[in-house]
Structure 1
């Protein structure tokens, strides 16, 4: 297929997606982080359908995806200078800003809160879709998966998760980041980190020239996407263990006759020298960016192999690994 034909096909798919969204249907689309499940923000029934499709609590807010920074103050009120500064630096990109919502954002999108999460995604298909929708439109879109489960990083993952529950999946290939956006709140006197993600907190601090507080210091906790204690979870039970004890735990489970998948980093590869027929080793990158790109797809692949247990080596206690630590902690939470 030549470039001209590919471009024409993409334009046709975008036009079809817009028509579906405008008619109140739900469309899955790619972003640089994970695939989103989109609804026209002006269509109440399409927004309600998102919660039904995902099995998501209605008080759990949806992130609003917009086409460009110039529309920020259409969707939010009283945007502080520091929020504009971050948007100018990181958008399009994996940064969500929590701000006081404008009257254009329905409470069904925000889970009943007077705040809204906004971002401009860094993916050509997502941006083309948003621009085709029009200036006063946006996509309310959580990740395109069942609530609490692994986020999808490919169109095939969306198909596996949601199948014929949605009207269309725009295929944009593999997501280049693979972890959800960093969420920063500006609903207090200082910016607060509500969720670590695709942009390191150190990069945000450098732009603002100030330290960013963590959400544990929030006096009035906001409901925030992706921050339930149990989230991002595979179907297979996941445990996180230190480098020192992970293989001991694997051997204990193996002695019980369980098939165990062991996720370790490349800089811990001495662990794979212990051979056991019940233990399957997965070697992950020692680079946190590459690890993040691989994480959800790896957990999904292990789910398909029907292991009894997945053991993940705890990441280093360093800022670059903060988002990985957050996802593994929530994915392994025992409900």
Structure 2
């Protein structure tokens, strides 16, 4: 896994795109602060750039670097969540502008998965995470379900967990609004 992590970090630092396992399903990722890399992911997925993508982080203590004002309820949600949870926060900052939604929000998930946690610790920046499929097609549950079209367009494919067939699901999604308003987007 050490070589895999080193190669993935090197690709991310050079503005490249990786295909990697997450705490949910396989994802396509890049440096969340690099607008050119984010643009490439939209192109690979054939996805409109008005549809924002989420960001993975490994440490909630870093949230203040990327969100103007973290709603108090967010800390509770992150702390009590036992399954992967993406929280959409208002007031995104210090991220690629083409990653932030039109309303200024960004979805962030804190990963506890071994590979992505170590990757994020070494990379020291948030990582874009979007399902490894063409927009509108079924999200691949396992590595073997990822299309050759996707695989051929990334700069590095992580070897770790390619043979893993443990059932995985996308994360739950909650959007936080003004005054502590909570909207459940996906259970």
TM-score by length of 1: 0.52
Residue in 2 that maps onto 1:31: 22
2:143 is the alignment partner of 1:155: yes
How far apart are 1:81 and its partner, in Å?
1.7
2:182 is the alignment partner of 1:194: no
2:20 is the alignment partner of 1:47: no
Paired residues for 1:155-234 under 5 Å: 155-160=143-148, 162-170=150-158, 171-173=160-162, 174=164, 176=166, 178-189=168-179, 190-196=181-187
How far apart are 1:156 and its partner, in Å?
2.3
Q: Which has the higher helix share?
A: 1
CA contact (8 A) 1:21 1:40 kept: yes
2:8 is the alignment partner of 1:17: yes
Q: 1:33 to 1:115 in 2, by over 3 A?
A: same
CA contact (8 A) 1:76 1:101 kept: yes
SS at the partner of 1:85? helix
Paired residues for 1:1-335 under 5 Å: 10-90=1-81, 93-134=83-124, 137-160=125-148, 162-170=150-158, 171-173=160-162, 174=164, 176=166, 178-189=168-179, 190-196=181-187
CA contact (8 A) 1:32 1:177 kept: no
TM-score by length of 2: 0.90
With a CA cutoff of 8 Å and minimum separation of 6, indicate the structure with the bigger relative contact order. Answer: 2
How far apart are 1:176 and its partner, in Å?
4.4
Aligned partners of 1:188 and 1:152: how far apart in 2? 35
Aligned partners of 1:113 and 1:17: how far apart in 2? 31
Q: How many residues are aligned here?
A: 184
Greater Rg over alpha carbons, structure = 1
Q: 1:185 to 1:43 in 2, by over 3 A?
A: same
Aligned partners of 1:113 and 1:176: how far apart in 2? 36
CA contact (8 A) 1:25 1:167 kept: yes
How far apart are 1:50 and its partner, in Å?
0.2
Q: 1:177 to 1:183 in 2, by over 3 A?
A: farther
How far apart are 1:163 and its partner, in Å?
2.4
The Cα RMSD (Å) is: 1.8
Unaligned runs of 5+ in 2: none
